[in-house]
Amino acid sequence: MSDTQSYEPGTHPDLPAPTSTTGVVGWLRANLFSSPVNTVFSIFFIIVLAWILPKLANWAIIDAVWSGDGAKDCLKSPEAACWAFVGARFEQFMYGLYPLEEYWRVNLIGLIVLVAGAPLLIERLPFRRACGLFMLFAFPVVAFFLLLGFSKSSVSAWPYWLMGLSALALSALSAVPNRPKQRGWGGIVSIVTIVLLLLWGLAAPSNWTVGLFYGAPGWAAVVSLILTMGPIVATVGALLSKKGHAFVVDRFGSICLYIAVLAFIGFMLPIQTWDPVRGSSPPWVMAIATAAFAYAAIAPWGYEKSAGLAGRIALGLAPFYLIVAYLVLTGPPDWLNFGSLDWQANTIPLFRDVQEVLPYVETSRWGGLMLTLVIAVSGIVASLPLGIVLALGRRSKMPVIRTICVVFIEFWRGVPLITVLFMASVMFPLFLPEGVTFNQLLRALIGVALFSSAYMAEVVRGGLQAIPRGQYEAADAMGLSYWSSMRLIVLPQALKIVIPGIVNTFIGLFKDTTLVSIIGLFDLLNIVQTGLTDANWLAPNVPYTGYVFAAFGFWIFCYSMSRYSQMMERKLDTGHRN
């Protein structure tokens, strides 16, 4: 009689997997010893690691010097690492020459990144969307003012900056009513817009109408008048007819928003950096009013009665809305600035108090890992959207747009980054008017962003070409416009395909930040090299230790980007397989 137990069909119990296919043994057989060739290479690398790891452990840990205050301590073990050098200069490696009493500002930025950035990496955490919007729009502004602080001259210029920022916010916010999905916000948007409009007027100097022709009336005043009055006249004319109303709501709003952004960049920065232009009441402050007052005229008309209570509130506020816009634009010079509303008398002391808490720190004192991250993050954030625009432009059917993008891409890809940085530092100031200064770090940031965007454009273009033609035809069949089809259908697929290329460009950009040493900026590598010249640390093992520390710091960030990209690839791996 057989000892084998018999079972009825379907009642046989599940048996455990063979031990040779599970656990450590199973993993080794499947990954290291799955074939004769794999076995040979695995044994070879195990022998190499067995030879290298003990030596590396002795150099980096066992025989290393961990404490000391000079070369004499490092010479106690000249064949091993001297981590005492890194410990003595750790703060300098992290912060550069940033003032010791202001380290809390850099640490606060790091804490914000950890708190607001964690939900972006971990899906189960709440408030992911809010954190994403904060990191994209608000965090750069917060980090900029925390790191730079406020100088005495910037305190006096703050009314102009607030004037421009409020106008920019007014333009962006007033675009909300024109979006059908967001018409339910009509009443709130109208009220906030009126507040912003009043803020614009309060921020203006008391003699701003006279300041329109500050100095000798010339092209600056003419440009300001055209940019300010042109959109308003065009808007009022368009609103007189139903066709004009539709055109304004659908087309003119976005144009005004673009003008607002360009005006803010083109006019507010010179106010901050060029004293002869700023004066007591510069004409440039009028240019930013372009989109602000255009939207002040059209925003309430962007709502419809079908929007419900919000629409009725918006239409009810329209007369008050336009009256405020008119008074701010044409009212007497002192109408909005008197008593408790006198901006110059009441807010400048407030900004002076802020300046005492956040004193100005020159960018020449920024350095170390902090500067490396500033340059890398700024370049990464700026290069991706600019690269997408260039890639779309290079595939455009309009010859002029295509030619401009091709020339831009080929020019920046044809010169080395070190040349770009040298030109930005040495040659660019020669083309500026006398008395105009341009921050050296800002020049480097612009050069790095433009250089990286050219490479990013080609990466994105590869993704666009990988999308089947049928996707474009499907978007056309659905009646989507060019930008809608790109935003909703084509670009999401293209960017998903080229995630490895995008991250590869980011990693290359992060490592290329070491080239800023050519223009006298002390990034992590350069500040380590500077520390090696200290006579107190002249020991043979100090240079190796410093370079290994810098390399390990770069590796941590580059490897983190690589792992995050792999995670995104797995998450977005939804197709494109035959």
Q: Tell me if 391 sits within 8 A of 461, measured CB to CB.
A: yes
Give CB contacts under 8 A, 24+ apart, made by 5-13. Answer: none
Retrieve residue 256's tokens: 């005004």
Residue 75 makes CB contacts below 8 A (sequence gap 6+) with: 539
Q: Tell me if 309 sits within 8 A of 185, measured CB to CB.
A: no
Rg (the chain; Cα; Å): 31
Give the pLDDT confidence score for residue 197 in this predicted structure.
62
Three-state secondary-structure class, residue 274: coil
Give the pLDDT confidence score for residue 155 in this predicted structure.
73
Q: Which of the given ranges, 199-213, 274-288, 296-310, has the highest pLDDT on average? A: 296-310
Average pLDDT over residues 288-298: 51
Query: Minimum mean pLDDT among 232-246, 289-303, 471-485, 510-524: which range?
Result: 289-303
Cα of first residue to Cα of last residue in the chain, in angstroms, is 55
Q: Tell me: the pLDDT tens digits for 412-471?
A: 999 999 999 888 887 777 776 666 667 888 889 989 999 999 999 999 999 999 999 888
Give the pLDDT confidence score for residue 317 in this predicted structure.
64
Exposure pattern of 290-312 as b/e (b: 16+ CB <10 Å)?
bbbbbbbbbbbbbbeeebeebbe
Retrieve residue 290's tokens: 């372009």
Q: Which fold has domain 363-572?
A: MetI-like fold (1.10.3720)
Q: Tell me: the pLDDT tens digits for 301-331?
A: 555 555 556 556 656 666 665 566 555 555 4
How many angstroms separate the CA atoms of 433 and 443, rounded? Answer: 16
How many angstroms separate the CA atoms of 210 and 200, rounded? Answer: 17
From-to residues of CATH 1.10.3720.10 in the chain? 363-572
| Bridge partners, residue 523, by sequence | 368
Please report how many Cα atoms fall inside a 13 Å half-sphere around the Cα of residue 440, on the Cβ side: 16
Q: Which of the given ranges, 337-351, 387-401, 436-450, has the highest pLDDT on average? A: 387-401
Question: Number of helices (H) and strands (E), helices first, in the chain?
Answer: 30, 2
Query: Minimum mean pLDDT among 114-128, 170-184, 424-438, 551-565: which range?
Result: 170-184
Give the pLDDT confidence score for residue 285 in this predicted structure.
45
Q: Tell me: the pLDDT tens digits for 140-157?
A: 888 988 998 888 777 766
Q: Tell me if 550 sits within 8 A of 87, measured CB to CB.
A: no
Average pLDDT over residues 219-225: 51
Q: Tell me if 486 sits within 8 A of 416, measured CB to CB.
A: no
Share of the chain above pLDDT 70, in %: 62
What is the residue whose two structure tokens read 């004037």?
Answer: 163
Residue 354 makes CB contacts below 8 A (sequence gap 6+) with: 150
Retrieve residue 267's tokens: 């006019």
Question: How far is CA 259 from each of CA 39, 333, 450, rounded to the nearest angstrom?
Answer: 65, 26, 22
Q: Is 68 left (phi over 0), alpha (psi -120 to 50) or beta?
A: left
Three-state secondary-structure class, residue 443: helix
User: Average pLDDT of the chain?
Assistant: 76
* Residue 107 reports pLDDT greater than 60: yes
Give the pLDDT confidence score for residue 70 in this predicted structure.
87
